[in-house]
Structure 1
Amino acid sequence: MESGSVTTPFGRRAMTLGMLASQQIAETIEPGTTRNKWKLFRAICEARPALGVTDRALNVLDALLTFYPDNELSEDRGLIVFPSNAQLSIRAKGMTAATLRRHLAGLVEAGLIVRKDSANGKRYARRDRAGAVSEAFGFSLAPLLARAAEIEALAAQAVADRELMRITRERLTICRRDVAKLISAALDEGAAGDWEKITCIFREIVARLPRAPGLEHLTSVLDDMSLLREEIVNQLEMLTKVKKIDAKESQIERHIQNSNPESISDLEPAIETKQGAKLAARIGQQSVPLDDQVISATPEGARGGELRAGRCKRPLGEDGELKSFPLGLVLQACPQISDYGPAGHVGNWRELMSAAVVVRSMLGVSPSAYQDACSAMGPENAATVMACILERGGHINSAGGYLRDLTRRTEAGEFAIGPMLMSLVRANSSIRRQVG
C-alpha cells in the first residue's frame, strides 16, 4: 500500500472512520518487520476476546493466510491476497458466500485486514514482464504485521488471565470443600458452637457466585471463604485442645477409681447414654442384616455390659420399654431413607443410623436434639424416628421441634413408634397400588 493512500470500498459499502484508522495503522509498519504467519495467527486466536472477533471469522482469516505464498509476513514480498470467493469458500470448509461476506466484514471492522478494491470490485493482480506482481487488488494483511506486537501482548495477557482464573477456581473449590466437610464433621461430632449460623454464612458466600463468574467474583468469594475456613479451623483446634485436657484428667480419675481388680466394669464397661454418649460410639457396636434380629445397647441400670436382643430398654407405658422394630419393616415404611445410606442403600442398622445423621443435618435438626432422642429412645429407635420424619417431611414445619416433642413424650412414657410405622406402611402401600 502506498504511503498516504486511502482506499474506499467498492459498490454500496460505506466508508467508515474505523476503516480509515485501520488503513493508517497499516502504513506504520516498521522497516524490516517480519512475523511467522501461523504463530501470529495462534496469537490472534489467544487474544480473540480482546480483539472482538468470532471463531468463524478466524476460520476465514485462516483461509486467507493460506493464500499468502510465504510463511513469513513481510512488506517486501507484498501483503495483499486476492482469492476468489469460490476458492476462499473451499478453503474455509465450504462456507457460503453470504457467510463469507459477513465474516470478512467482521475482520475489517476488527482492524485485522484492509480491503483494497479494484475499479470493478474484482480481486486480481497485475504482473510485469518478469512475472512479478506489480499491483494487486484484494485483502491486505498489512494490519496484522503492523499490530503484531500489540496482538502478541494481548495473547500473553489472555494466557496469564486464563491461568490465574484456573488457579483461583482450584483454590476456591478446595476451600469450599474444606469448609463444607469441616462443618459436617463438627455437626456429626456434636462439637460446641453455633454451627447453624456458620452454615448460613457459608451458604450466603456460595450464593454470591454468579452462573459464569469472572476473576473479580472468584477472588472476592475466595477471600471470604478462606477467612471462614480459618475461623472454623481455629474453633475446632480449640475444642480439640480442650478434649485432650479432659481426656488426660479422665485417665487419672479412672486410674484411681478402677484400682479394685475385682470390679466388673473394668472388664465390660457399660455405655452411659444419659451422660451424653456420642452416636458414633453406638453405631460402631452394631451391624445387623435385614432380619428381625435387633441388638441394642445396655439398658439403664444394667451391670457388666449385658446386651439385650429385640428391644431397647427405655421408659414407656406399663412395662417401661420402648420396642425396636425389624429393620425390614422400617425400610418398608420409610423407603426414602435408603437414598441417604453410605452407598445409596441401607442394609443394616449401622447404615440406617449413618443415614439418619445425614438426614438430621439436612432437615436442620440440631445435634443436641438428636443426641437427646438417642438417649431417650436408643440409637436404633432415634434413627427410625428420623426416617419417619423424612417420610412425612411435607407435613412437618419444624423437624427439630417435632423430634424434641417426641423425645419428651418418650421420657414421659407417652410415645410408641409402632402406630407411626404402621401408618406409613399403609400409606406407602396405597400409593403403590394407585401407581400400579
Structure 2
Amino acid sequence: MHTGSVTTPFGRRSMTLALVKRQVAATEIKQGKSVDKWKVFRDVAEARETLGLQDRSVAVLDALLTFHPSNELRQDKSTVVFPSNVQLALRAHGIAGATLRRHLAILVDAGLIVRKDSANGKRFARKDSHGEIETAFGFDLSPLLARAEELALMAQEVVAARTAFRRAKETLTIYRRDVRKLISAAIEEGAEGDWQSIEDTYLDLTARIPRSPSRADVDDLLDEMQLLYAEVVSRLETQGETEFNSTNAAHDERHIQNSKPESINELEPSSRKEQGAKSGGNSLLRRPANASFPIGIVMKACPQICDYGSGGAIGSWRDLMSAAVVVRSMLGVSPSAYEEACEVMGPENAAVAMACILERANFINSPGGYLRDLSRRWERGEFSLGPMVMAQLRANNGDTVRRA
C-alpha cells in the first residue's frame, strides 16, 4: 500500500519543491478510488503534447504500466513498479539506456510518475509472510490515479481542438473553392466590375496558405476568405438586382407607352416612388452589416475603435454604432456627413466605415470629406466595404497602410 511519505531521489539527482508538491498531491487520493490504467494511459497519449511528452516518453510509460499486475490502479493497493532498466528497455522496444533514463526523467517532470528510491538506488520489493508486497522501491504510478480526471479532461480538450481544427480547414477549403468558381463565372460571363482585382486578392490570399498551417493560420485565413466570399456574392447580387431593375424599367416604359394618355399622370408618381425605393434597395445597403462582415472580423481589422466602446470593449453591432458616433465627433466629421453615410450605406456599414477611417486617421487629411466621398461612390455603385476591411486586416498583419 502506498505509505504517503515524501522521498528524495537517489544519487546525484536533485530534489525540488515541485517534486515535493507532486508527491504530496499523489498521496491525497480519495479513499477507495480506482481507475483503469489503460484508460488513463490513452488519455495521456492523447494529451501528450499538452503534457510536454514525446512519443518515446509515452512508450516508456506504456512499458511501466505492463509491470503493474492488475488492470486497475487502486488507492488501497501498491502502485509501485520495480523493473530493472534492462527489463524496461526490452518492453519499450529496445530503447537505449541513455534514452530510457531521459524519458523517465521527462515522465517525472510531467508529474505522471514519482521515483521511490531505495537506500542504494536499487528497485525491488519486500513481501510479508503472506506473499503480499509490504514495501516496494521503483516508480510510483499513483500520480496517474490521482490525476485521472484531470488527464481525461485534458484529452477531451485536445480531441475537441483537433476536431475544430479539422472543421476549420474543411470550411476554408469550401470557401476557397466557392470564391474561385464564382470569380471564374463572373469573368467568363462578362459581369460588370473589376473582377481582375478581386482575383488578384484571391490569389494573394491563397499564396499565404502554408504547407502545414497552424490553427491560428487557418483561423486568420478563414476570416479573410469569408470576407472575400461575402464581397464576391454581394457584387453578384447587386448586379443581379441592377439587371432585374433594368428589365422592370423597360417593362414599365412599354406599359406607359401602350396606356391611354390620361393614365400617365396617375402612373408617374407611383413609378417615381418605386424607383426611389429601388435605388436604396441595394442588398449591401439594407442587409444588416453583420450578415456581410462578422463582428469579429471588423474588430480584427479595426481594433482601435474598441477604445471608444462602453467599458473599452465592443461586443455587438449596437456597441460598434455607439462607438462610431464618438469617433465621428473626435475626428471632426460633421453630423450631416455621418447622417448621409448612415442613410446611404445603412447605420451598420457606416459604423464599419468610421472604424476603418479611425485606423487610417493619420493618413487622411479630411475624415469628413473622405466619408462624404465614400457615400457618393457607394451611391454610384463604385465602392463597397469588403476591400477596405480586407486592406485593414492585411495592414494589421504587418503590411504598410498607404495614404488615402
How well do the aligned residues superpose, as a CA RMSD in angstroms?
A: 2.4
Note if 1:93 corresponds to 2:96: no
Residue 211 of structure 1: CA displacement?
Answer: 4.7
Instruction: Write the distance in 1 (CA, Å) between the matches of 2:96 and 2:70.
Output: 27
Counterpart residue number, 2:328: none
Aligned counterparts, 1:217-296, within 5 A: 217-240=217-240, 242=242
Residue 90 of structure 1: CA displacement?
Answer: 1.3
Counterpart residue number, 1:79: 79
Q: What amino acid is aligned across from residue 3 of structure 2 in structure 1?
A: E
Percent identity (aligned): 52
Partners of 2:30 and 2:75 within 8 A in 1: no
Aligned counterparts, 1:100-139, within 5 A: 100-139=100-139
SS in 2 for 1:197: helix
Counterpart residue number, 1:179: 179
Instruction: Write the distance in 2 (CA, Å) between the matches of 1:244 and 1:87.
Output: 81
Residue 223 of structure 1: CA displacement?
Answer: 2.3
Q: What amino acid is aligned across from residue 9 of structure 2 in structure 1?
A: P
Instruction: Write the distance in 1 (CA, Å) between the matches of 2:47 and 2:60.
Output: 16
Deviation readout 1:353-394 (Å, 9 max, x if unpaired):
xxxxxxxxxxxxxxxxxxxxxxxxxxxxxxxxxxxxxxxxxx
Counterpart residue number, 2:364: none
Instruction: Write the distance in 1 (CA, Å) between the matches of 2:158 and 2:124.
Output: 37
Counterpart residue number, 1:160: 160
Q: What amino acid is aligned across from residue 216 of structure 2 in structure 1?
A: E
Counterpart residue number, 2:3: 2
Instruction: Write the distance in 1 (CA, Å) between the matches of 2:87 and 2:146.
Output: 27
Note if 1:143 corresponds to 2:143: yes
Residue 10 of structure 1: CA displacement?
Answer: 1.0
49 and 133 in structure 1: CA distance in 2 versus 1, 3 angstrom threshold: same
Aligned counterparts, 1:52-67, within 5 A: 52-67=52-67
Where does structure 2 lack aligned partners over 5 or more consecutive residues?
A: 252-404
Residue 209 of structure 1: CA displacement?
Answer: 4.1
Residue 60 of structure 1: CA displacement?
Answer: 0.3
Residue 100 of structure 1: CA displacement?
Answer: 0.8
Deviation readout 1:270-301 (Å, 9 max, x if unpaired):
xxxxxxxxxxxxxxxxxxxxxxxxxxxxxxxx
SS in 1 for 2:136: strand
Counterpart residue number, 2:23: 23
Q: What amino acid is aligned across from residue 215 of structure 1 in structure 2?
A: R
Residue 126 of structure 1: CA displacement?
Answer: 0.3
- Give the structure, 1 or 2, with the largest relative contact order (CA under 8 Å, sep 6 or more): 2
Residue 246 of structure 1: CA displacement?
Answer: 7.1
TM-score, structure 1 as length reference = 0.54
Q: What amino acid is aligned across from residue 86 of structure 2 in structure 1?
A: A
Residue 196 of structure 1: CA displacement?
Answer: 2.1
SS in 2 for 1:73: strand
TM-score, structure 2 as length reference = 0.58
Residue 190 of structure 1: CA displacement?
Answer: 2.4
Counterpart residue number, 2:388: none
Indicate the structure (1 or 2) with the bigger Cα radius of gyration.
1
Deviation readout 1:42-93 (Å, 9 max, x if unpaired):
1111111111111110000000000111111102121000011111111111
Q: What amino acid is aligned across from residue 109 of structure 2 in structure 1?
A: E
Residue 243 of structure 1: CA displacement?
Answer: 5.2
Instruction: Write the distance in 2 (CA, Å) between the matches of 1:72 and 1:97.
Output: 28
SS in 1 for 2:76: helix
SS in 2 for 1:77: coil
Instruction: Write the distance in 2 (CA, Å) between the matches of 1:14 and 1:76.
Output: 30
Instruction: Write the distance in 2 (CA, Å) between the matches of 1:207 and 1:51.
Output: 34
Instruction: Write the distance in 2 (CA, Å) between the matches of 1:96 and 1:224.
Output: 49
Instruction: Write the distance in 1 (CA, Å) between the matches of 2:227 and 2:179.
Output: 10
Instruction: Write the distance in 1 (CA, Å) between the matches of 2:75 and 2:81.
Output: 13
Q: What amino acid is aligned across from residue 95 of structure 2 in structure 1?
A: M
SS in 2 for 1:76: coil
Instruction: Write the distance in 1 (CA, Å) between the matches of 2:146 and 2:213.
Output: 35
Instruction: Write the distance in 2 (CA, Å) between the matches of 1:19 and 1:203.
Output: 53
Q: What amino acid is aligned across from residue 2 of structure 1 in structure 2?
A: T
Counterpart residue number, 1:298: none
Instruction: Write the distance in 2 (CA, Å) between the matches of 1:15 and 1:238.
Output: 71
Partners of 2:82 and 2:138 within 8 A in 1: yes
170 and 97 in structure 1: CA distance in 2 versus 1, 3 angstrom threshold: same
